[in-house]
């Protein structure tokens, strides 16, 4: 899905000698972006792939990737540092919830909502996975290169990949070519503190602060700009609060299970009455409450929660339409 991670070439004319080469930030960001591309693709031989076509399959692969980041089983992870990417554990449950919504027969009949959920989930992944893969793979240069991410400047093979991303003409300008990094710096500064601290109450406080910092990036920098500010999406979100429409709409909830729902009220967070999803502050109020529920469960029901996260991590290769013909645009890679 783009330029290979390493290539061989002659760098000087002296046989059996070495010459130091330096990769710039943009090249490394380009390499990271193609990792995100590949994760959501079905490969066709050695020179081509296509993004898997089923929206809910994408959401489950995304959930799996987030779960793997938390568990430190993702590429370049460090099992000794499990827990530092705390938002990723909550993100796995959230993307699973999106997958369940996309599979709910009531959702696809409202096309702007159906496609809006898929679009937001996809582009959040393209953005958020990159920051985390870069930190784990090129940790020593993260602080230097964090401000240099710019999808419009990627090397040509990777720009060609991004040009085939769904909704790219709409998404990239709205999320500033994945350059916005204020909350990201805050969140990863907290990751560094978590890495340096032994387990205990103070580390748990830092994890929660990290989660909220990344959630602010997720909700304000990406999703608010991309879907909630879109009138075609937000008007339907508002209509779902109408009494009659609300009766036949999916409940706004986040279930902390790999299944779509649970009968155990202790394992879910339901949006309070009056929550306005299209409003950032209203939405973040519920998300913060859900994060507190999640945080409590992660401390008191650790084995259960990590078991559910591990179950979601197993979805990394899901592709229900693998043997069906697809009209998805092919993405070339060398």
Question: Tens of pLDDT along 189-211?
Answer: 999 999 999 888 899 999 999 99
Instruction: Kindly state the average pLDDT of the residues 128-153.
Output: 97
Which tens digits make up the pLDDT trace of 262-283?
Answer: 999 999 999 999 999 999 999 9
> Do the domain assignments include residue 285?
yes
Q: Does the pLDDT at position 296 exceed 80?
A: yes
> Do the domain assignments include residue 280?
yes
The answer to whether 64 and 318 have CB atoms below 8 angstroms apart is: yes
DSSP SS3 for 192: helix
> Do the domain assignments include residue 101?
yes
Q: What is the DSSP letter of 330?
A: E
Total domains present in the chain? 1
Q: What is the DSSP letter of 155?
A: -
Phi, psi of 49 (to 5 degrees): -150, 170
> Do the domain assignments include residue 14?
no
Calpha distance 330→41 (Å, rounded): 9
Which tens digits make up the pLDDT trace of 299-323?
Answer: 999 999 999 999 999 999 999 887 6
Structure tokens at 30: 């380009």
What is the CA angle 286-288-289, rounded to 5? 65
> Do the domain assignments include residue 170?
yes
> Do the domain assignments include residue 81?
yes
Phi, psi of 241 (to 5 degrees): -90, -10
Top pLDDT among 332 and 265 is at 265
Residue 120: which domain range?
A: 25-44+51-313
> Do the domain assignments include residue 36?
yes
Residues 6+ away with beta carbon under 8 Å from 259: none
What is the CA angle 114-326-91, rounded to 5? 40
Instruction: Kindly state the average pLDDT of the residues 177-198.
Output: 97
Top pLDDT among 245 and 57 is at 57
> Do the domain assignments include residue 20?
no
Calpha distance 100→252 (Å, rounded): 12
């Amino acid at each position: 899905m783009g330029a290979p991670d390493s290539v061989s070439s002659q760098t000087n004319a002296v046989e059996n000698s070495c010459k130091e080469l330096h990769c710039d930030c943009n090249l490394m960001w380009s390499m990271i972006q193609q990792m995100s591309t590949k994760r959501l693709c079905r490969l066709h031989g050695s020179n081509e792939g296509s993004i898997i076509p089923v929206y809910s399959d994408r959401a489950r692969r995304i959930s799996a990737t987030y779960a793997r980041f938390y568990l430190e089983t993702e590429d370049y992870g460090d099992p000794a540092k499990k827990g530092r990417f705390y938002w990723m554990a909550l993100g796995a449950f959230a993307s699973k919830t999106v997958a369940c919504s996309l599979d709910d027969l009531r959702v696809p009949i409202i096309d702007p909502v159906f496609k809006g959920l898929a679009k937001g989930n996809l582009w959040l992944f393209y953005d958020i996975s990159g920051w985390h893969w870069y930190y784990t793979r090129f940790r020593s240069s993260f602080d230097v290169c964090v401000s240099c991410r710019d999808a419009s400047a990627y090397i040509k093979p990777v720009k060609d990949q991004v040009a085939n991303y769904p909704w790219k003409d709409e998404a990239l300008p709205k999320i500033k070519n994945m350059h916005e990094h204020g909350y990201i710096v805050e969140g990863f500064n907290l990751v560094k503190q978590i890495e340096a601290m032994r387990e205990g109450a103070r580390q748990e406080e830092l994890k929660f602060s990290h989660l909220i910092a990344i959630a602010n990036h997720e909700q304000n920098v990406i999703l608010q700009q991309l879907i909630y500010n879109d009138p075609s999406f937000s008007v339907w979100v508002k209509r779902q609060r109408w009494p009659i429409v609300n009766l036949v709409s999916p409940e706004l909830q986040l279930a902390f299970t790999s299944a779509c729902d649970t009968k155990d009220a202790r394992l879910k967070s339901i949006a309070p009455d009056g929550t306005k999803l299209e409003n950032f502050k209203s939405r973040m109020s519920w998300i913060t409450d859900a994060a507190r529920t999640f945080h409590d469960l992660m401390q008191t029901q650790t084995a259960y929660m990590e078991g559910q996260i591990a179950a979601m991590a197993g979805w990394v290769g899901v592709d229900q339409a693998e043997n069906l013909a697809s009209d998805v645009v092919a993405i070339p890679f060398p």
